[in-house]
Structure 1
């Protein structure tokens, strides 16, 4: 059996301000029949990226995952939050990874009242 080479990265861009979103806490969960298992936590750096892959090659496995971005704290800190309760606070993105040798990149494009994602490179 060959060693897998897959890994997972993410980053967050603040589309309302046109800059990377620094300081957003991100939690990664693996989804199984038994529920959610927390795999990793990290925080975005000045480039809106994580310092290392959130799921590196040595820990990678195919399956269903969920990234949860704690955007409410960031929106409050940057003066974009609006009234409580926030329209966007915790943003979960559930996705599947089926290729054991692929680089999966799941970015979040954020504004106070909307977000989008895609499979990047």
Structure 2
């Protein structure tokens, strides 16, 4: 059974990004401009969602977007950021081709940079 999961590591402080807000959207249409909100959550103490974001029949092939609340997270940790912050919300657009696979989308983030990859 396929599933979509995520986690975030705070590379500035060397720890999981506990409490970071994450939103998941489905992108529809040929140009991806039709956006359907699916889920909003806060990451747990391990910087992970408590359950898969999508799994089973809810995990359909298509285009998706995860939006990570990076600036609000770092402000909540007491990091002084400029206004506007260099990174505010980080959107990651990705595709799901195989509904039976595990898609893991990690984010490594600081107030000034981020990276991602397809994890396992």
Which residues of structure 1 form unaligned runs of 5+? none
- Residue aligned with 2:71, SS: helix
Once residues 18 and 61 of structure 1 are traced to their aligned partners in structure 2, the CA distance between those partners, rounded to angstroms, is: 34
Counterpart-to-counterpart distance in 2, 1:83 and 1:40: 29
- In the alignment, structure 1 residue 16 sits paired with structure 2 residue 15: no
Flag as ranges the 4+ runs of structure 1 deviating above 2 A. Answer: none
Measure how far apart 1:60 and its partner are: 0.9
SS in 2 for 1:64: strand
2:86 aligned counterpart, secondary structure: coil
Q: Measure how far apart 1:11 and its partner are.
A: 0.5
Is the Cα contact below 8 Å between 1:72 and 1:81 reproduced in 2? no
Between Structure 1 and Structure 2, how many residues are aligned? 117
What's 1:74 paired with?
A: 73
Q: 2:24 aligns with which of 25, 28, 32?
A: 28
Structure 2 length as normaliser, TM-score?
0.93
- The structure-2 alpha-carbon separation of the partners of 1:17 and 1:37, relative to structure 1 and needing over 3 Å to count, comes to same
Q: What are the Cα deviations for residues 2-43 of structure 1, in whole angstroms up to 9, with x where unaligned?
A: xxx211000010011110001111110000016110111111
Whole-angstrom CA distance in 2 between matches of 1:13 and 1:22: 9
Q: Any gaps of 5 or more consecutive residues in structure 2?
A: none
Between 90-99 and 69-78, the greater mean CA deviation after superposition = 69-78
TM-score between both structures, scaled by the size of structure 1 = 0.92
Q: State the Cα RMSD in Å.
A: 1.1
Partner deviation per Cα, 1:57-86 (whole Å, 9 max, x = no partner): 241101100000111111101123421111
**Partners of 2:79 and 2:10 in 1: CA distance:** 11
